Amino acid sequence: MIALCTATCLIAWTQIDTKPGVLPLFDGKSLKGWTQDVPENDGKPEALSPFVVREGMLVSLGKPMGHLISGAEFENYRLLVEWRWPKGAGNSGVIVHVSQPRFLRGFLPKGIEAQLMSGNAGDFHLFGEELFRAEAPAEKAGKNLTDDSEKPLGEWNQMVVECLDDAIKVWVNGTLVNHGVKSSVRKGKIALQSEGAEIEFRKVELTRLRPSSP
């Protein structure tokens, strides 16, 4: 069983956070820099975690449902995530600009999700925040622009989420699949989901960006 991250872990990550360039959010060995929010495990210190490190990968087992949330907040960055579904189709997501855990339905944090669900990678889901379609700014952002960017189940996929000023862009395997503007929030923590199916992550890293306007 992987223990919950301690305050020492958070301090270590905060120190790393001051360095320029690419910041690995997963070191391939531990869950340093992350905290776990799993409602079903409340009051159960011996409960098994749905987030483990296995063979150099960060694995979300899918059950119980919950979130792995970064200890640090970020603004103006490009997040790169590489993932695959080892046991068949499933549902998960990357949530950016997280500000409050358990904001919705006692489970979902306040923030903006870039969906990883099989067949729908890159969809936006809005949890208490606003984001609008770049091509139709009067409409809320949601479904991705294409559903054929994912690789076959079991193969590795790459998602890039770019958060710059009030815009969010998502690429899946090099294809731009979503573009939202006029975000109601510009910074926050990052969360990975445990949402019913096992998913493996082999890379989670962040590159800082300069804001386009002062």
Predicted TM-score (pTM) of the model is 0.88
Q: Which SS3 state, helix, strand or coil, does residue 7 take?
A: helix
Q: Which amino acid is at 208?
A: R
Residues 155 and 138: their CA atoms lie apart, in Å, by 37
**CATH entry 2.60.40.1180 includes domain 7-208:** no
Q: What is the pLDDT of residues 104-159, one digit of tens each?
A: 988 899 999 999 999 999 999 999 999 999 988 888 888 777 777 999 999 999 99
Could you tell me the two tokens for 135? 């091509």
Q: Report domain extents, the chain.
A: 7-208
Residues 204 and 213: their CA atoms lie apart, in Å, by 27
Give pLDDT tens digits along the chain (214 positions): 333 333 333 333 333 343 458 999 999 999 999 999 999 999 998 999 999 999 999 999 999 999 999 999 999 999 999 999 999 999 999 999 999 999 998 889 999 999 999 999 999 999 999 999 998 888 888 877 777 799 999 999 999 999 999 999 999 999 999 999 999 999 999 999 999 999 999 999 999 999 986 6
Contact 28, 82 (CB under 8 A): no
Give the mean pLDDT of the chain.
Answer: 90
